[in-house]
Amino acid sequence: MAFAAQPFSGTNQDLLNEQLTALKQDFDTYRELPASQITISRDLPALSVLLTGSSNSSQLDCELVTATSAGTGVVMEAIAPTGQLSKVQNDLNQMLKTLQVPR
């Protein structure tokens, strides 16, 4: 799992598209669910997408969350062997809920 923040002037969807393009290059095959609207950092709108796929003969699950605020793009990427991501989903949700984002 990784969190990152950097200057970004686009929308949540722009950031999600950029991150998905980069992430998909790491997968040999993948299946992506439609993005859903979520809230992080108490009240900041964000987009979340779940992917499953294979990379180097490993089956993986991935959650990608993007949000933008005050010229900052925030990304959370969590990747785990298939079936393992769900075991830490409550922890991921809590981290996203309490994340401090500049506004």
How far does Cα 3 stand from its chain's mean position?
Answer: 9
Structure tokens at 73: 């793009």
Say whether pLDDT at 102 is over 80. Answer: no
Q: How many CA atoms lie within 13 A of 63 on its CB side?
A: 24
CATH architecture of 2-96: 3-Layer(aba) Sandwich (3.40)
CA-CA distance, 84 to 91, in Å (whole number)?
13
CA-CA distance, 55 to 78, in Å (whole number)?
15
Domain boundaries along the sequence of the chain = 2-96
pTM across the whole model: 0.93
CA-CA distance, 55 to 79, in Å (whole number)?
11
Average pLDDT over residues 28-53: 95
Say whether pLDDT at 11 is over 90. Answer: yes
Structure tokens at 31: 């299946």
Residue 103 — pLDDT band, cuts 50, 70, 90? Answer: confident
Residue 60 — pLDDT band, cuts 50, 70, 90? Answer: very high
CA-CA distance, 22 to 30, in Å (whole number)?
13
